[in-house]
Amino acid sequence: MPKASIIGAGIGGIATAIRLAVKGYSVEVFEANDYPGGKLTEIQQDGFRFDAGPSLLTMPQYIDELFRLAGKDPSRFFSYQRLYIICKYFYEDGSRITAYADEEKFINKVNQITGEGKALRQYIYKSSRIYELTNQIFLQRSLDQPKTFFTWDAFKSLLHFGEIDTFRTMHQANNQFFTDKRLQQYADRYATYNGSNPYQAPATLNVIPHLEQHFGAYFPKGGMYQITNCLVELAKSLGVKFRYRSKVDEIVLRDKKAVGIKVNGAIIDADIVISNMDVWFTYHKLLVQYPKYQPKKILSQERSSSALIFYWGIKKQFPELDLHNIFFSSDYKAEFEYMWKKQTIYHDPTVYINITSKFKPDDAPPDCENWFVMINVPANKGQNWDKFIADARGNIIKKLSRILQVGIAELIVSESILDPRSIESRTSSYQGSIYGTSSNSRYAAFLRHANRSSKIKNLYFCGGSVHPGGGIPLCLLSAKIVSELIG
């Protein structure tokens, strides 16, 4: 039985382990932490439970597919519900827009508030069209394989290349779709789904709303961390072994071929090695003795944004809030300029609040709520984060207190904080970037690291820092691509 060693128990690594086990591999997953999941973990404190990282589930069919590959009925092991409301948007002028999952209801609501229902319908169609032209070739397959580009899907994409909208930025496209600034902000915010800047990222990223609006947004029973728990149990049922507190020190090479890994001084032989570790750290820590193999151009690319997250236990319930809530900045362009050009945090940041106790009441004590409060921030380049955090905390509290018309500071009874430094140290994400490299150029999608090494045989890569990108669905697709490359 061939042996596979996987470095990192993030969601991409777990999914790859499942797929290889189904193919007949003996699989071991080595994780430096004492828990699985990478960013997809949880925090419990003072009677509150928080999903620590990703808070939105889309494309759950990719999770279901893993169970079906193993011959199991996914509904017996992992369940989720489709959201009636995808997100609630709050603006500084006092207006509010509710993004309903029902497309017609959402369009009608937007039309009532802005008069631009027709424009929203066209925007939604454009998003679906970009998905139709990019899904099979750019998301489902490896881009380093020539045969990928000799298919009908590839021909169709090239034939309609202009419709993919690579030559405008997201904001340029959205500015032409909508005259209402609130809708421009709504559309621009999707750039943050992969840690990018809508004023630089190509309008191709307007594919993202389709994943949410058409395929739906969901809440897993038990919270997002149940994704990790269920997939780990599935992997174990297939014979996958998880080795926690097992930091990998080196990928062992012989004759330009990966033949194993070194853990705590011991060499563990393997027929193939898959790194779910950030690709930057894979080369700079695990292959540091082989600088000639480093893809320097790829590794020098601009990193994605990071996040500053406050996990607040709130001693009050807010009926006007839902599972997902966005409080927009009054000046979106200035916010991104501060983040990307000045490498700091704007005094009026856009604030995202996730409240899982809306759907899972035991995530908070009675009459309380668990607030996952996040703002997008620059990657860690040595800034004064202690000052940034103190200033941002005060600005967030003032903003939320003003819009919700209640003193938020007095309601916080529990708090912990995750910043770019701790994201990097806990998840080995270089500079604390959440999505690997940014997509702030029209060619960024083609410049992500491939899912296998072009210079080292039997070395593969999965997870958010490589093709096709960050976020749960794309990490799961990276696992699928790796398993198909391995054959």
Decide: 440 and 447 in contact? Cβ < 8 Å: no
Q: Which structural domain range is residue 51 located in?
A: 3-81+221-301+447-486
Residue 225 and residue 200 share a domain: no
Residue 161 and residue 13 share a domain: no
Angle at 424 between CA 473 and CA 395, to 5 degrees: 90
Instruction: For residues 119 and 6, give the distance between their C-alpha atoms in angstroms, rounded to a whole number.
Output: 46
Q: What percent of the chain has pLDDT over 90?
A: 89
Phi, psi of 282 (to 5 degrees): -60, -45
Q: Could you say which of 196, 214, 232 is where a domain stops? A: 214
Decide: 469 and 436 in contact? Cβ < 8 Å: yes
Q: Is the dihedral of CA 452, 26, 33, 468 positive or negative?
A: positive
Decide: 353 and 325 in contact? Cβ < 8 Å: yes
Average confidence (pLDDT) over 92-111: 97
Residue 115: CB atoms within 10 A of its CB come to 11
Instruction: For residues 333 and 67, give the distance between their C-alpha atoms in angstroms, rounded to a whole number.
Output: 43
Three-state secondary structure call for residue 386: helix
Integer distance in angstroms from the first to the last C-alpha of the chain? 14
Residue 96: CB atoms within 10 A of its CB come to 14
Average pLDDT, whole number, for the chain?
A: 94
pLDDT score at 443: 76
Residue 233 and residue 209 share a domain: no
Token couple for 17: 């382990």
Give the number of domains in the chain.
2
| Lowest mean per-residue pLDDT among 128-137, 360-369, 453-462 | 128-137
Task: Give the gyration radius of the chain's Cα atoms.
Answer: 22
Residues β-bridged to residue 51: 42
* Total-model pTM: 0.94
Token couple for 243: 């080795």
Phi, psi of 377 (to 5 degrees): -135, 165
pLDDT tens digits, one per residue of 409-451: 999 999 999 999 999 999 999 999 999 999 998 877 678 899 9
pLDDT score at 141: 65
**Residue 260 is inside which H or E element, if any?**
strand 258-263
Residue 237 and residue 201 share a domain: no
pLDDT score at 248: 98
Q: Is residue 141 part of a domain?
A: yes
Whether the pLDDT of residue 151 is over 70: the answer is: no
pLDDT score at 156: 59
pLDDT tens digits, one per residue of 315-344: 999 999 999 999 999 999 999 999 999 999
pLDDT score at 147: 56
Q: Is residue 464 part of a domain?
A: yes
In angstroms, the Cα distances linking 434 to 49, 275, 366, 379 are: 22, 17, 33, 9
pLDDT score at 305: 97
Q: Is residue 26 part of a domain?
A: yes
| Lowest mean per-residue pLDDT among 183-187, 212-216, 279-283, 459-463 | 212-216
Q: Is residue 441 part of a domain?
A: no
- Banded model confidence at residue 190, pLDDT cuts 50, 70, 90: very high
pLDDT tens digits, one per residue of 374-407: 999 999 999 999 999 999 999 999 999 999 999 9
pLDDT tens digits, one per residue of 224-244: 999 999 999 999 999 999 999
Residue 208 and residue 252 share a domain: no
Q: Is the dihedral of CA 439, 444, 449, 451 positive or negative?
A: positive
Q: Is residue 329 part of a domain?
A: no
The 8-class DSSP code of residue 447 comes to H
Residues β-bridged to residue 87: 99
pLDDT score at 139: 67
pLDDT tens digits, one per residue of 42-90: 999 999 999 999 999 999 999 999 999 999 999 999 999 999 999 999 9
Token couple for 398: 């003032």
Q: Is residue 384 part of a domain?
A: no
pLDDT score at 387: 98
Instruction: For residues 111 and 117, give the distance between their C-alpha atoms in angstroms, rounded to a whole number.
Output: 4
Q: What percent of the chain has pLDDT over 70?
A: 94
